[in-house]
Amino acid sequence: MNIVVVKYNAGNIFSVINGLKRIGVEPTLSGDPEIIRAADKVIFPGVGEASTTMAYLRETKLDQVIRDLKQPTLGICIGLQLMCKSSEEGNTQCLGIFDEEVKKFVPTLHEQKVPHMGWNTLEEMNSPLFKNLPQNPFVYYVHSFCASIGQNTIAQTNYIQPYSAALHKNNFYAVQFHPEKSGHIGEIILKNFIEL
């Protein structure tokens, strides 16, 4: 199976590649539109800032390549945020695959730290992406912005407020947490995506 990880100006891509290798998948890392379009599955991961990342995607025409994909595609972390309609980070118009909006966490208590870093649950799971998982499993998050809960939400969590932990529409899936850093639970989720 041909799994392509999208190469663009975002960090943390190599930890996703290593996570895939741990489950026996040898992915291709590429920013080439033809290679991405020819993949069986596409993963759009990363850590970064929304406005500069979207500017890069537009400049390289990868924004249209990603929007037009027909195969199962998984966004991770900033990947999820960029697949939404817009982000408050840099007041950015994003890819618009999902209707949800991305907003910055606004702490209401002193102990609520931003970025949200660490382990938190997945709740209200409703997708084949989460098959064979225990109830309310813990996964690893690192982010300062989150997607609203809406019609595309397939799992949610609560930190400061309830928000979308995962989204799905047509062939597009996205998770706010890092499956590649979420131990055994994350490996099951990556395997489930590969088997979709």
Handedness of CA 164, 168, 169, 172 (dihedral sign): positive
**Which position among 77, 84, 94, 146 bears the catalytic label?**
77
Secondary structure class of 2 (helix, strand, coil): coil
Mean pLDDT of 136-142: 97
- Per DSSP, what are the bridge partners of residue 104? 145
Residues shown for the chain: 196
Q: How confident is the model at residue 46 (pLDDT cuts 50, 70, 90)?
A: confident
User: pLDDT at position 20, please?
Assistant: 97
Mean pLDDT of 123-142: 97
Whether the CB-CB separation of 59 and 37 falls below 8 Å is answered with no
The total number of structural domains in the chain stands at 1
Residue written as tokens 């938190």?
A: 120
Residue 58 sits in a domain whose CATH number is: 3.40.50.880
pLDDT tens, 66-116? Answer: 999 999 999 999 999 999 999 999 999 999 999 999 999 999 888 899 999
Q: Where are the beta strands (DSSP E) in 101-193?
A: 101-104, 116-121, 138-143, 145-147, 153-159, 161-169, 172-175
| Cβ neighbours for 184, distance < 8 A, ≥ 6 positions apart | none
Strands 172-175 and 153-159: unpaired
Alpha helices, DSSP H only, in 23-177? 33-37, 50-59, 62-67, 78-83
Other Cβ atoms within 10 Å of 32 Cβ, number: 14
Strands 153-159 and 161-169: antiparallel
> What values do phi and psi take at 147, rounded to 5?
-90, 140
Give the predicted TM-score (pTM) of the model: 0.96
Q: Please indicate whether residue 184 is annotated as part of the active site.
A: no
Q: Please indicate whether residue 178 is annotated as part of the active site.
A: yes
Q: Please indicate whether residue 84 is annotated as part of the active site.
A: no
User: pLDDT at position 12, please?
Assistant: 81
User: pLDDT at position 53, please?
Assistant: 94
**Which position among 110, 124, 178, 195 bears the catalytic label?**
178
pLDDT > 90: percent of the chain: 93
Parent domain of 32 = 3-195
Handedness of CA 164, 169, 171, 172 (dihedral sign): negative
DSSP 8-state class, residue 102: E
User: pLDDT at position 10, please?
Assistant: 83
Mean pLDDT of 136-145: 97
CA distance 20 to 193: 11
**Which position among 84, 100, 143, 180 bears the catalytic label?**
180
Q: How confident is the model at residue 190 (pLDDT cuts 50, 70, 90)?
A: very high
Secondary structure class of 166 (helix, strand, coil): strand
pLDDT tens, 155-188? Answer: 999 999 999 999 999 999 999 999 999 999 999 9
